[in-house]
Structure 1
Amino acid sequence: MERQQEFVLRTLEERDIRFVRLWFTDVLGFLKSVAIAPAELEQAFSEGIGFDGSSIEGFARVAESDMLAKPDPATFQILPWRAESPGTARMFCDILMPDGAPSYADPRWVLKRTLAKAAERGFTFYTHPEIEFYLFEGQPKPGKAPEPVDHSGYFDLTPHGVGHDFRRQAITHLESMGISVEFSHHEGGPGQQEIDLRYADALSTADNIMTFRHVMKEVALEQNVYASFMPKPLAEHPGSGMHTHLSLFEGDRNAFHEPGAEYSLSKTGRSFIAGLLHHASEFTAVTNQFVNSYKRLFSGGEAPSYISWGHNNRSALVRVPMYKPSKSQSSRVEVRSLDSACNPYLAFAVMLAAGLKGVEEGYELPAGAEDNIWTLTDGERRALGIETLPSSLSEAISRMEESELVAETLGEHVFDFFLRNKRAEWLDYRHQVTPFELNRYLPVL
């Protein structure tokens, strides 16, 4: 740690960095930032920077407002869109209480705590997200439908297209910040993009996702367009998800891999999937936390709305990707329900906790579904034992309220605040009279 701090301080001087942004995330997954001068950084490393936690969503009540943001030197990066001299850098922070103890309200600590439980069992948790989002013309205006930057489709290559130039610039920025990109392409919706990050340990990936979303917004502003991670911005086109590949390692060995087993999937891997399925409805409010999230999940296409798993089935909630015989390290499972707008720290924590519960309790994996689940009748789904994910934020809240697993994973403070905030969002939504209602009912009633 001391060596990392020395590297940061030396780099600030050598690269003429005059501003250091300290980043952290609130309970709902929104990025927060405070900028300090380089001269203040040594004290920040040793003591942290004080701030009013009661002003941050879900952090503290007014009577408990004093908190500290302590930068993690391992996350130091220079911001490429502020690279001209004098430059700007950023670091993610851990949030502490005045006595130096980790804050119960810090989403990064929630994930760290869950990763520590996995480590006690000998596991390291890796994740690999496929992040979808839309590019729209101009800036969003209330009451006005967004206009996609193009009308291209899946994998389309349009000469001089906005998306092509956007992805090139965005990936250049990401890689200059040490965030490796595996794939990028145009997605199925008009103006919709997908950029896949290379797999990494879950904490690094969560930090990378928060950085990713900010970089996309910055590059979009540079190009006079708007990047949106809204789960379902266009009613007639696909929503934006974040299919996430998960794997557990024991040292250098992939705990999900077993030569000769079906799909080369080990008993640990099968029990992990069983845990995800068993607790899926309990953690859906975390992985899909907005009213709009359920417009994506229940709009058809490849968005999962049923609790099932399959090998090559993109309508399933959990998919086991094709195994490559020469790459035992690549055995993994893919969870397809997540929004690209979720809080990645909390989402990774609850998925890991659910999978570990399956491993610890030896959950049995039900039969996989290889048919397109959307084409099955309700009776056929019942016969296969396939249940439905929560169909609204209200239902997801109710399932989460009853979950001991999610409550224990998030901790009492985050669990209670998250539920209060989501109940308030649902109540606000219920009070709205939508264009759908006006268009359908006003002319005839």
Structure 2
Amino acid sequence: MPSIQNNPNLLVQYLQKPASEFTKEDLIRYIEEREIEIVNFRYVAEDGKLKTINFMVTGPEELDMILSSGERVDGSSIFSYLEADSSDLYLVPRYKTAFLNPFASIPSVDILCSFYDEHGVPLESSPENILRKAQKRFFKETGMTLKMMGELEYYVISPVEKEVESSNNGYHSAEPFTLHETLRVEAIKLIARCGGKVRFGHAENGRFSHCGKHYEQHEIEFAPVDPEDASDQLVIAKWILRMLGLKYRVNVTFIPKISLNQPGSGMHFHFLAEQDGNNCLVESGELTATSLRMIAGVLELAPALTAFANTNPISHLRSMPGQRVPSHICWGKQNRSTLIRVPLGWNNNIAFGAILNQQEQKKTDYTFRQTIEYRGSDGSANPYLFSAALIVGFINGLSDHESVKKADAYFCSDNLFMAKDSPEEDEKKFQRLPLSCYESAKTLENYRHYFEADAIFPKSIINHTILKLRAFNDKDLGENFKTYGENQNLLDLMDDYLNYM
């Protein structure tokens, strides 16, 4: 099977089966035959970063036990909303996520895990379980299957002996005109080896030098997969990029805004819905009612989505007026100034390769590639929680008989970035996103019933999210934004959050 032989995941190659079919016996065989010495249980905690428990492989009985029953952990140290008097959790591995650790000096297999409570049921409030509940509800309501994928932007900060002129023209730059293409290409290779479905990577716009440091922006884009898998590959990708930062002695950061006059970094999410193998977003080259309903449903909840998509004050600095980041609640076709964008698709069945290269070529239907993009989220988001929140928006739109009309009202064909210094006219037509964590918290309080419906988001998670956002005490962030560039406050704030996410 060529697809298995050429799969970059070394476990897939060795076991000769897709990762989705991995069994406990498969992992034991691989670990024993490849003389793996360490098994690492990985999980995503409240801060969205990968945590680790290391197990020494001492024999088949011990290995069988931990793969079968998991291990106990202190839930109150993982999630601050769990009380210490009843916080014991089971950490249970998901076999399909197993990969060979590319950085370990001792041969190690890593496996992502999920949380179970004392009754042996999934922890109601764990991020990956909230996403799973949202997926199940979506399928039950619609009969459609969701796919999602992320675009991960980041900066590489490295020392420079000589400062170069600040420039925002780094988009798709190649060596020797970019310093960190080698790091990016290695990241792509390692993400794929760890099970991620990577499409491509490239240099992004941001590139400047300041105070003896060079700042260079890059992006990695993934392929649409199951929403849980999409979140898995994002957290693994962020870990790999951080680890390569250590290797190359540079700092890799996903901070949403790194300088007032430089491009910010987002973590955009694309989505599509399928039924019987067909893309439900397009038909005969046009957007379907299904896609319009999903768009309208998300935009209706967009003010509250910022509570999951933009989780610290720096997130809101990225979307302030004049920063060329979507900040109004609207959508457009191929319009990067809108919150939701319908990217250019392959709906015309044109054989570009045959036309350009003057060859006979069979026309192929590529409508399966059409996605819809939410452009407002950034690297501070926990991808599991934000994906679940997006799905709540999809369900909202698909259950609303007026959502197609609402989508028409949300449509924007103008370039909203052109009015960056006087957004008043835009605000008359389109509502603006919250300007601070304080505003996001207030909005989530008003919209919480959408997320708590069908017990997708537990009340405890909504309460915790609101309290956490309020704790930033940034109520006046929007009013003070214009003065930040004139003093040290902005630089200090960015330094505080450089490695926060």
Q: Does TM, scored on the shorter chain, surpass 0.5? A: yes
Give the root-mean-square deviation of aligned CA atoms.
Answer: 2.6
Q: Distance in 2 between matches of 1:418 and 1:167?
A: 33
Structure 1 residues 378 and 194, CA, compared in 2 at 3 Å: closer, same or farther?
Answer: closer
What is aligned with 1:268?
290
Which of 254, 265, 288 is the equivalent residue of 2:279? Answer: 254
CA contact (8 A) 1:319 1:334 kept: yes
User: 2:330 corresponds to which letter in structure 1?
Assistant: S
User: Is 1:114–2:134 an aligned residue pair?
Assistant: yes
| Distance apart, 1:378 and its partner CA | 4.6
User: Is 1:349–2:388 an aligned residue pair?
Assistant: yes
Which of 401, 414, 417 is the equivalent residue of 1:371? Answer: 414
Structure 2 gap segments, 5+ residues each? 1-19, 208-215, 350-365, 490-501
Structure 1 gap segments, 5+ residues each? 139-146, 441-445
Structure 1 residues 412 and 27, CA, compared in 2 at 3 Å: closer, same or farther?
Answer: farther
User: 1:33 corresponds to which letter in structure 2?
Assistant: T
- List per-residue Cα deviations over 1:100-131 (Å, max 9, x = no partner): 11112210000001011112131211112111
User: 1:266 corresponds to which letter in structure 2?
Assistant: T
User: Is 1:323–2:345 an aligned residue pair?
Assistant: yes
CA contact (8 A) 1:104 1:414 kept: no
User: Is 1:123–2:147 an aligned residue pair?
Assistant: no
Structure 1 residues 439 and 92, CA, compared in 2 at 3 Å: closer, same or farther?
Answer: closer
Q: Distance in 1 between matches of 2:193 and 2:230?
A: 16
CA contact (8 A) 2:152 2:219 kept: yes
CA contact (8 A) 1:132 1:240 kept: yes
The worse-fitting range, judged by mean Cα deviation, of 417-426 and 239-248 is: 417-426
CA contact (8 A) 2:438 2:474 kept: no
Q: Distance in 1 between matches of 2:178 and 2:331?
A: 37
- List per-residue Cα deviations over 1:380-429 (Å, max 9, x = no partner): 3255x311011111111110111111344321122122222222223699
| Distance apart, 1:30 and its partner CA | 2.5
Which of 110, 116, 122 is the equivalent residue of 1:102? Answer: 122
Aligned length, in residue pairs:
424
Q: How does 1:122-201 map to 2 (within 5 A)?
A: 122-137=143-158, 153-159=170-176, 161-190=178-207, 191-201=216-226
User: 2:137 corresponds to which letter in structure 1?
Assistant: K
User: Is 1:20–2:46 an aligned residue pair?
Assistant: no
TM-score by length of 1: 0.89
| Distance apart, 1:193 and its partner CA | 0.6
Q: Distance in 1 between matches of 2:240 and 2:487?
A: 38
What is aligned with 2:373?
334
SS at match of 2:205: coil
Q: Distance in 2 between matches of 1:16 and 1:439?
A: 54
TM-score by length of 2: 0.79
Q: Distance in 2 between matches of 1:299 and 1:29?
A: 28
What is aligned with 1:393?
437
| Distance apart, 1:81 and its partner CA | 1.8
User: Is 1:381–2:392 an aligned residue pair?
Assistant: no
- List per-residue Cα deviations over 1:20-61 (Å, max 9, x = no partner): 111111234232221122344322232220011111133511
Which of 33, 45, 48 is the equivalent residue of 1:29? Answer: 48
SS at match of 1:187: strand
| Distance apart, 1:375 and its partner CA | 2.9
Q: Distance in 2 between matches of 1:258 and 1:156?
A: 36
What is aligned with 1:238?
263
| Distance apart, 1:202 and its partner CA | 0.7
SS at match of 1:103: coil
What is aligned with 1:283?
305
Once the two structures are aligned, what percentage of the paired residues are identical? 27
Structure 1 residues 78 and 331, CA, compared in 2 at 3 Å: closer, same or farther?
Answer: same
SS at match of 1:178: coil
User: Is 1:417–2:464 an aligned residue pair?
Assistant: yes
CA contact (8 A) 2:333 2:413 kept: yes
What is aligned with 2:233?
208
CA contact (8 A) 1:28 1:418 kept: no
Q: How does 1:300-319 map to 2 (within 5 A)?
A: 300-319=322-341
Q: Distance in 2 between matches of 1:92 and 1:298?
A: 36
Structure 1 residues 3 and 309, CA, compared in 2 at 3 Å: closer, same or farther?
Answer: closer
Q: Distance in 2 between matches of 1:3 and 1:322?
A: 36
| Distance apart, 1:75 and its partner CA | 0.5
| Distance apart, 1:2 and its partner CA | 9.0
Structure 1 residues 117 and 306, CA, compared in 2 at 3 Å: closer, same or farther?
Answer: same
What is aligned with 1:80?
102
Q: Distance in 1 between matches of 2:319 and 2:175?
A: 29
SS at match of 2:392: helix
CA contact (8 A) 2:311 2:437 kept: yes
CA contact (8 A) 1:268 1:359 kept: yes
